[in-house]
Structure 1
Amino acid sequence: MKREILFRLDTPYRQPFAIEGFRFGSGEKACAIVGGIRGNEVQQMYVCARLVKAFSALEEQGALLPGNEILVIPCVNRFSMNVGSRFWPMDQTDINRMFPGYDQGETTQRIAAALFEAVKGYRYGIHFASFYLPGDFVPHVRIMDTGYQTSSLGSLFGLPYVVMRTPKPIDTTTLNYNWQIWESNAFSLYTRETDRIDEASAGQAVSAVLRYLSRVGVLKYTCHSGFMPSVINENDLATVLTPAGGIFRARKAPGDEVSYGEVIGEILDPFTADRLAPVTATTSGLVFFAMDKPLVLEHEVAFKLIRRLHA
């Protein structure tokens, strides 16, 4: 294992900003893995830290197949993490909306450019990402449908679902999209949590990466086969909106089965705790995403559901 500084930026107000990486093996650029780009992505950083530990042990055992290099970057934005800000503290810009970056631009553009320079050219790119809404997911792999993607590779992770996303204009500045444009097979992995550590889904994510790399010929690693995933399109997910503002209480969690019209949450009056409105399932199926937020406005996304085929 080689631990190195991939990028350093002097600052006038704190210690230098740095991005650290961990390299395993040598030879062809096989796989780059990126964790927390945003300051609240603690779970994403933790999963990468566990991967660093796993790869170190596998390298000592001679389980990395010759001619392959793996790069792991657990945390890109330690400044934001130190002060508890999801985005860059000085101007609240999102580094994951700055790719491929510009090395003569604003600070977050320079950070994105340096990160992308370090991770481009790898055969596979894995980003542990988070959603723009606070909440929990069923663990899954997400792939941008750019025309460069290979959806069948996503099934090799052995997670329950592979989600295909049709890119919107805002997606063209993300790491995943630009990885694909520069001819890497790019995947975003989502676990249950973001700003809290969930050991079970972290372990599932670590196993998924090791399973994938063993199946594509980078590692010599024996693991259980995982799930036979379902491939779904993000546009086919049913959205359940909050019918009123107030205190949100979820009755269902990711992975739970629901029926059409079933009460899966409720909105409470913040001053009396009386129920203002039920939150009901718009289709029969399975909870894919559940909001984790105590106070909501009307018409916020409370749940996303995977429809049953016969529903």
Structure 2
Amino acid sequence: MTISLGTASAAPGERDIGRLEVGQARDGSTVGLPVCVVNGVSDGKTLYVQAVSDGDELNGLGVLTRVVPQLDPASMSGTVIVVGIVNHFGFQVGKHRNPIDDTKLNRTYPGDEHGSTSERIAAATFDAAKDADLIIDLHQGSTSRMINEVRVRCGRRHRMHADCLQLAKVFGCGHVFDQKGPDGQLARVAPDEGIPTIDPELGGSVGWDETSVQKGVEGMFNVLRYYGLIEGNVDLNPQTRARGFDQYGSPVGGLIHFRKDLGDRVVAGDVLFRVTGPFGEEKARVTADSDGVFWRCRRLPQVATGEYVCSVGTDVDEY
């Protein structure tokens, strides 16, 4: 059966790229998101993948530039449907939110075809995603520093939780954050349609980070193999799971000196960071409230009083 998305249309054994129209820009020109359909020669699962719903998160796009060219529809089962850049307007100016309506696009799913710019983009992409068997929404921790992890956002009481958690384990970043997400996230909404969905957060960087991009490439091929779209075996490794976050701000203004690195185990009472003045004079030390994993931290050293500094993943286990 021929599979189409926007102007991309592929018969079994074919690949095609095109554009998915989502409205018009301020000059009246058509806005089309880049899309690709890779249609295998035999029946199988449909995997929907998207990236850059936050306009400054580019590691997911880096993953797609490496994975898609390696997909051979002549040896595939099932279909891979890809939207390469969801937040068109944010991507153009390197901004996290959609500057047209000042909205975080990944809070607008399932969207509204008659709504705001972000809601219309969400509606168009969700219409493509909702017929899939699996969904991967590629993200990163914005431009702050963060470990490579996968988020399961449906909530632990959701009927699809086990399936989403398994998909996260197959992707295999090593760390999983398992907590119900905010309203309007694709990874929160799609499981309501019965579709296992994950939200890989591939590190955090300005531009592309090679280590995180490669981790995402490996994760994508793990999924493709495990769910039978391409041939090959997958070794499932235990994942370190956090089910909560403790966030820490600075009690004073100054310069941050971290005492923990990303991925380090943290014990309650450990010093997470020191704050000094411009000549190294110590002004404060901040310690961990709970055991966990050093998960995320700010990139720049300078902080004002109360400004965010870092996060520790808590309620940690392995599965």
Per the alignment, residue 90 of structure 1 pairs with 100
Displacement after TM superposition at 1:207 (Å) = 0.6
The answer to whether structure 1 residue 140 and structure 2 residue 149 are counterparts is yes
- Structure 1: gaps of 5 or more residues: none
SS in 1 for 2:305: coil
The answer to whether structure 1 residue 290 and structure 2 residue 290 are counterparts is no
Alignment counterpart, residue 193 of structure 1, candidates 204, 219, 222: 204
Q: Note if contact 1:250-1:290 (Cα within 8 Å) is conserved in structure 2.
A: no
SS in 1 for 2:221: helix
Per the alignment, residue 27 of structure 2 pairs with 13
Per the alignment, residue 81 of structure 2 pairs with 71
Alignment counterpart, residue 3 of structure 1, candidates 17, 25, 28: 17
Letter in 2 for 1:286: V
Matches within 5 A, 1:1-311: 1-13=15-27, 15-26=29-40, 27=43, 30-55=46-71, 58-59=72-73, 62=75, 64-65=76-77, 68-131=78-141, 134-144=143-153, 145=155, 146-150=158-162, 151-167=165-181, 171-222=182-233, 225=235, 227-233=237-243, 235=244, 237-269=245-277, 274-299=281-306, 300-306=308-314
Quote the Cα distance in structure 2 between the aligned partners of 1:135 and 1:86: 12
Displacement after TM superposition at 1:199 (Å) = 0.8
Displacement after TM superposition at 1:36 (Å) = 0.4
Q: Which moved more, 1:77-86 or 1:291-300?
A: 291-300
Deviations 1:237-261 (A, max 9, x none): 4443322233333343212244443
**Percent identity of equivalent pairs:** 21
Structure 2 CA distance for partners of 1:16 and 1:294, relative to 1, 3 Å:
farther
Quote the Cα distance in structure 1 between the aligned partners of 2:28 and 2:114: 21
Displacement after TM superposition at 1:272 (Å) = 5.1
TM-score w.r.t. structure 2 length?
Answer: 0.82
Quote the Cα distance in structure 2 between the aligned partners of 1:279 and 1:162: 25
Quote the Cα distance in structure 2 between the aligned partners of 1:149 and 1:259: 29
Q: Note if contact 2:101-2:118 (Cα within 8 Å) is conserved in structure 1.
A: no
Quote the Cα distance in structure 1 between the aligned partners of 2:304 and 2:63: 32
Letter in 1 for 2:138: F
